[in-house]
Structure 1
Amino acid sequence: MLSVLKYCFGLKRADKGGERNMKRIILGIPLLVAVLVFFPVRSFAAMPRSATLATHAVGGLYNALGTGIGTVISRYTPTTVRVQPFAGPPAWLPSMDKGETDMGILTSADAITSYKGIIIYKRPHTGTRILISGGRIYLGFYVRSDSDIKSVSELKGRRVPTDFPGIPIARLSSTATLASSGLSYNDIVKVPVSDLAAGGSAFLEGRLDAGWDAVGSPRVIEANSRFRGGVRFLPTDSGPEATKRMGDIYPGSYTALVAGGSATGVVKDTYLMTNDIYLVATKFMSDDVAYEIVKILWERNEDLGPLHPGLKEWTRDRMANPSVFIPYHPGAVKFLKEKGVWSKEMDALQARLLAD
Structure 2
Amino acid sequence: MFQKLSIIAGLALMPASAVLADDVKLPSTIAVTAADVGGTSYNQAIAIGKALQDAYGVSLRVVGTGNPQAKVAPVREGRMPFSIAGSDVFFAFEGVDDYASPDWGPQDLRAVSLVGGDNCLTYIVAGDAGIETMADFKGKRIPWVVGSSPLQANAKAMLAFGGLTIDDVTLVEMPSYGAAIDAMINGQVDGVTTVSTGGLVEKAVAGPRGLKYIPYPHDDAEGWARMREVNPHFAKRVATQAAGGLKEPLECIGVPYPDVITYSEDDDLVYNFTRALIDQVDVYSKADPSTAGFAADKQMFEWTVPYHEASIKAYREAGVWTDELDAHNDALLARAAVLADAWATTEDIRGDADFQAKWMKIRAEALQAAGMPAYFE
TM-score band by shorter chain is 0.7 to 0.9
CA–CA distance in structure 2, aligned partners of residues 41 and 148 of structure 1? 53
Unaligned 5+ segments in structure 2 are 1-19, 336-377
Are the counterparts in 2 of residues 232 and 265 from structure 1 also a CA contact under 8 Å?
no
Are the counterparts in 2 of residues 103 and 279 from structure 1 also a CA contact under 8 Å?
no
Q: 2:127 aligns with which of 127, 137, 145?
A: 145
Where do residues 168-247 of structure 1 align in structure 2 (5 Å cutoff)?
168-227=149-208, 230-238=210-218, 239-247=220-228
CA–CA distance in structure 2, aligned partners of residues 326 and 143 of structure 1? 30
- The equivalent residue for 1:156 is 138
Q: 1:304 aligns with which of 284, 295, 301?
A: 284
Are the counterparts in 2 of residues 158 and 188 from structure 1 also a CA contact under 8 Å?
yes
One-letter amino acid of the counterpart of residue 143, structure 1: V
CA–CA distance in structure 1, aligned partners of residues 173 and 246 of structure 2? 26
- The equivalent residue for 1:249 is 230
Q: CA deviation at 1:89?
A: 2.7
- The equivalent residue for 1:54 is 33
Where do residues 64-143 of structure 1 align in structure 2 (5 Å cutoff)?
64-107=43-86, 109-122=87-100, 123-136=104-117, 138-143=120-125
Q: CA deviation at 1:285?
A: 4.4
> SS where residue 150 of structure 1 aligns?
coil
Q: CA deviation at 1:147?
A: 4.5
One-letter amino acid of the counterpart of residue 289, structure 1: L
> SS where residue 236 of structure 2 aligns?
strand
Q: Deviations over 1:32-67 (max 9, x none)?
A: xxxxxxxx98555x5322211111111211211222
Where do residues 255-270 of structure 1 align in structure 2 (5 Å cutoff)?
255-259=236-240, 262-264=242-244, 266-270=246-250
> SS where residue 304 of structure 1 aligns?
helix
One-letter amino acid of the counterpart of residue 54, structure 1: T
Are the counterparts in 1 of residues 32 and 83 from structure 2 also a CA contact under 8 Å?
yes
Are the counterparts in 2 of residues 54 and 66 from structure 1 also a CA contact under 8 Å?
no
TM normalised by structure 2 equals 0.74
- The equivalent residue for 1:26 is none
CA RMSD of aligned residues (A): 2.5
- The equivalent residue for 2:274 is 294
Q: 2:295 aligns with which of 291, 296, 315?
A: 315
Q: CA deviation at 1:278?
A: 4.9
Unaligned 5+ segments in structure 1 are 1-39
Q: Deviations over 1:254-307 (max 9, x none)?
A: 232223x75426443322232112553433242222222222222222112122
Q: Deviations over 1:86-106 (max 9, x none)?
A: 123311323322322211123
Are the counterparts in 1 of residues 205 and 243 from structure 2 also a CA contact under 8 Å?
no
Between structure 1 and structure 2, the one with the greater Rg is 1
Are the counterparts in 2 of residues 99 and 282 from structure 1 also a CA contact under 8 Å?
no
